[in-house]
Structures are given as C-alpha cells and as structure tokens.
Amino acid sequence: MNIRNILYAILLGVSMAACLSQNDETTTENEEQVEATATTPAEPEPADLVIEKGRAGNIRLGVPIAEVRQNVVEGTVVNDTLLTQEGQQATAYVLHATDKAKGLLIEQQCEPDCQVWRISVLSPIYKTAEGIGVGSSYGEVKAAYPITTVAVEEDNFVAVSDSAGMSFMLDDTKLPQDGKELGRYDPGNIPDNTPVTRVLLY
C-alpha cells in the first residue's frame, strides 16, 4: 500500500469515527428529550382548577365513583386512602397531579352505588372565581361569601357558607383556645388574617 492509500484510509477512519460520535450524541439528545417529555406532567387546564358550588375541578358532587376513576385527567392519578369517620374506617380517594402530593380528597357514600359525597380541596392551586382557596385569609373569605356560622366540626374549626355550599377550615392555632371551646367565636370576631387550610364542598 502506498503513502497515498494509507493517508486516504486514515482520513476515512477519522471521518467515520466523527460521524459515529455525532450519531451517538444525537441519539443521546433524542433519548433525553423523550425522557423529559415522559416525565413532565401535562399542565392542567384552567377549568380543572376551579372551585365552585358542587364542583372542584372536574369532580362533581353526586357523580359515581366509577366515573371519577375512569375520567382521570392526563397528568393526574387517583389513590385509595382510609379515613376514620365516627370511629369507623371508610374508603376515600385522593386525586392529585403526578408531581404533587396534595390535590383533592374525595369522600363517598354508597347507598347502594358509591357516589361522591364530599370534596376537600387540599391544594392551593384550586381557586374559586373570587380567588379563594387554601392559603386565603378569613377576611378574604368573608368578603367573598356570606358566612352562616362558625363551629368546631370533626375537630376542625370551620367557617360555613351555606349559600356557597362550602366550609372553610381555619388554622386556629393562634386563636385563644378557651374562646373556641366556649363557643365565643362568631362570623364577626375571627381575626381577618386567620388562614384557610382546607375548603370542603358538601
């Protein structure tokens, strides 16, 4: 083999190696893009995050639980959980985004078919048309909805709006505990800066 052929063979080898290296990089980039696409949850539609009377997102009171499980929005999951109600355990469901721990807690009644009974909004991404949700203040709630009563229900301090069909669970840790226990609170004397920790639709 003469010098010219040797040089040609070397150049050909270098060219092939560069081409293979570029193909490897392209393949790696494509794999990374596919992986990123697969692990990135779909962004929820605005309508999927609305709280209104009888509805949170696409979950409505009274619909069959089977329908809830069948119509899960892309990027969300439904997990079974157990709640203790009046000393007895009951099955409930947590609907949440795949990358979020909190979402909606769905309670059921089975008479005989299981239907959505109550919905607890646990995530602050859900809001009413007035912008009320987890993390809002009692003052904001009171300005948006007429408060029928305040009470201790199931060990939670709540402000109830019958017209809205919602109970707003409040963080009472900074309130005088004797006042709560003696029933001294009413819709007018709860501090406006008391935060909402959960919204219950019933």
Q: What is the pLDDT of residues 130-174, one digit of tens each?
A: 999 999 999 999 999 999 999 988 889 999 999 999 999 999 998
Q: What tokens were used for 60?
A: 């409505």
Q: Please compute the mean of the pLDDT values over residues 8-28 and round it to a whole number.
A: 46
DSSP designation for 147:
-
Q: 63 or 44: whose pLDDT is higher? A: 63
Q: What tokens were used for 114?
A: 């299981």
Amino acid at 12: L
At residue 152, the 3 state secondary structure works out as: strand
Q: Which neighbouring-strand residues pair with 85?
A: 88
Q: How confident is the model at residue 6 (pLDDT cuts 50, 70, 90)?
A: very low
- Listed by start position, the domains of the chain span 1-40, 46-119, 130-201
pLDDT in tens, 163-193: 999 999 999 998 887 766 768 899 999 999 9
Amino acid at 177: Q
pLDDT of residue 110: 94
Q: What tokens were used for 47?
A: 């309508």
pLDDT of residue 11: 41
The span from the CA of 34 to the CA of 30, in Å, is: 6
Q: Please compute the mean of the pLDDT values over residues 22-39 and round it to a whole number.
A: 47
The span from the CA of 92 to the CA of 38, in Å, is: 29
| Angle 74-78-79 from CA coordinates, rounded to 5° | 150
Those residues with Cβ within 8 angstroms of residue 121's Cβ, 6 or more apart along the chain or in another chain: 51, 56, 104, 133, 134, 198, 199, 200, 201
DSSP designation for 194:
P
